[in-house]
């Protein structure tokens, strides 16, 4: 590996196709460390479908500019063999890797954890920044760090949104203008759930909000306990609404902590 | 690519872990060309499960010896980036990629065709040899070659068997002695089907043979038309029995042309 790093290092793992959401992760990393490494690696092991791997948007030169402008000191684009010089130790995501995002994406979270572990091993960062938008991913990474007792601080960065409220995603560019308007309904549904006095009302408002999104094909909408990914109940103090679905074949996910009535949380 | 080849070339694509079955492919290739290239590439795009990729047996130095001893003039172990320097064109395996072996292995045959096409493009062989044991794979490769009108002869090599009749496979080494004995029942079931006077009797004998295999967890057993992978009927002239299942978690597949009562075939 040709990485010469000035430790301590803050790491921002990405799959490229960087947008304002990534810029915010890099800026946050910069607050924790002078040396900020942005890795760009589209990991074949976390795609179940060869087409998804092949079609994943790539824009390395634009990515490098955005990363540098946001404060990155090293942009690292490893080869497959650098990441996987031999058989990687596959990290099992366990039960929580097989629910919600994991249901239709067999092996996805195992592949994701495996590459994150490899990046951690190779870079040895003191901290690493991940977006809260992929909340289940963030949860599983924190769990892995605890499991292996890694000396790495996992920093979660708040979701960056378009003016409409739509969570930033490289997939948004595939939406038409009207589809993008509709997609903002996901954020509205999350806010609707959060504007209620209790869990039961939140559930019905979440459903109501989702039904109001034109041409939205729901995968799941649930209010979970953000501490353990179980279904929230009335005594859950860190409730979080999670939504996933498709608009015209484009998969969209989002989530929001239920701060209005769920006792606390969010800092977890 | 550091491949300097003396065309014409016969290609034997493998994923390593070579055994006597592969040796027979290489020997067959040698009959078609002086220059025989054996590629060893464990293709991440055809594994749906990161564990399967990671656990796939590797034995490159032994592989090189066996390949050379069998007549290979070049052993090519490409890197991931050599095979996929950019986004690969994913080859769709279509309907036949989603039945039998494709049912539980979403994306598997697309990934397989994609890598075979890349190997063909890079090596430009005049012929390529594949084992008849993976009959559905062989079928799909022939279909792809026809679809793209590639000037490549696809040569199918007969299945090499252990003394018991068990088809050679790198997975056999994971079986215990008694499990290996039991696994030979697959070959017995195929022969039982072939020893009958007609399709209906063959179907019942195939079932009978499978039920006689101790601790065999059946995935499928069917008699198909080897020309189009439809279910065989009484007018099918190229019938082939196909079986897949597990013994103690090890997946085993085999097939046999029904030469005894199916009118012809086998040469396809």
Same domain for A186 and A118 = no
Same domain for A187 and A131 = no
Q: Report CB contact under 8 Å: B49, A81.
A: no
Same domain for A91 and A46 = yes
Enter the tokens of residue A39.
């890795």
What number is the average pLDDT over the span A138-165?
97
- B238 is a domain residue: yes
Domain residue limits at A105: 9-157
Same domain for A153 and A191 = no
Domain boundary among B98, B129, B157: B157
Backbone φ, ψ for residue B152 (5° rounding): -130, 130
User: Where are the strands (E) in chain B, listed by range?
Assistant: 9-14, 35-40, 74-76, 127-131, 153-157, 216-225, 239-247, 250-257
Spell out which residues of chain A touch residue B45, defining contact as CB-CB under 8 Å.
44, 47, 50, 53
Same domain for B208 and B177 = yes
pLDDT digits (tens, 9 = 90+) for B99-150: 999 987 878 999 999 999 999 999 999 999 999 999 999 999 999 999 999 9
Q: Report CB contact under 8 Å: A106, B58.
A: no
Same domain for B143 and B29 = yes
Same domain for A179 and A59 = no
- Of B58, B80, B111, nearest to A80 by CB-CB distance is B80
Residues of A contacting chain B (CB within 8 angstroms):
44-51, 53-56, 58, 79-81, 84, 87-90, 106-107, 110-111, 114
* Structural domain total, chain A: 2
pLDDT at B266: 38
Spell out which residues of chain B touch residue A49, defining contact as CB-CB under 8 Å.
106-107, 110
Q: Report CB contact under 8 Å: B87, A51.
A: no
- B149 is a domain residue: yes
- Residue A107 above 90 pLDDT? no
d(CA B14, CA B161): 18
Q: How confident is the model at residue B265 (pLDDT cuts 50, 70, 90)?
A: very low
Same domain for B151 and B21 = yes
pLDDT at B1: 54
pLDDT digits (tens, 9 = 90+) for B184-200: 999 999 999 999 999 99
Nearest to A29 by CA among A111, A114, A123: A123
Same domain for A104 and A26 = yes
Helix residue ranges, H only, chain A? 20-32, 50-55, 60-69, 80-83, 108-123, 135-147, 177-183, 185-194, 199-211
Same domain for B247 and B221 = yes
Measured between alpha carbons, how far is residue A264 from residues A23, A133, A203, A221, A227 in Å?
Answer: 28, 19, 18, 21, 11
Q: What is the CATH number of the domain that holds A233?
A: 3.30.1300.10
- B199 is a domain residue: yes
Q: What is the CATH number of the domain that holds A44?
A: 3.40.50.620
Same domain for A90 and A67 = yes
% of chain A surpassing 70 pLDDT: 97
């Amino acid at each position: 590996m040709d990485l010469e790093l000035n430790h301590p290092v803050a790491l921002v793992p990405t799959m490229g196709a960087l947008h304002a959401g990534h810029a915010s992760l890099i800026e946050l990393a910069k607050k924790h460390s002078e040396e900020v490494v942005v890795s760009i690696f589209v990991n074949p092991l976390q795609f179940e479908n060869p087409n998804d791997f092949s079609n994943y948007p790539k824009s390395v030169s634009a990515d490098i500019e955005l990363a540098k402008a946001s404060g990155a000191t090293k942009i690292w684009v490893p080869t497959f063999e650098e990441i996987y010089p031999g058989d990687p130790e596959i990290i099992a995501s366990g039960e929580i890797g097989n629910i919600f995002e994991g249901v239709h994406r067999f092996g996805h979270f195992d592949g994701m954890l495996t590459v994150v572990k490899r990046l951690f091993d190779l870079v040895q960062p003191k901290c690493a920044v991940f977006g809260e938008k992929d909340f289940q991913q963030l949860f599983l990474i924190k769990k892995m760090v605890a499991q292996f007792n890694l000396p790495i601080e996992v920093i979660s960065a708040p979701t960056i949104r378009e003016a409409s409220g739509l969570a930033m995603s490289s997939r948004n560019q595939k939406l038409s203008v009207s589809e993008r308007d509709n997609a903002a309904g996901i954020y509205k549904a999350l806010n609707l759930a959060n504007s209620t006095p209790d869990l039961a009302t939140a559930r019905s408002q979440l459903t109501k909000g989702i039904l109001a999104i034109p041409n939205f094909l729901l995968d799941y909408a649930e209010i979970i306990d953000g501490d353990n990914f179980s279904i929230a109940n009335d005594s859950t103090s860190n409730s979080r609404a999670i939504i996933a679905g498709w608009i015209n074949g484009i998969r969209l996910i989002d989530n929001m902590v239920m701060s209005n009535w769920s006792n606390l949380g969010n800092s977890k």
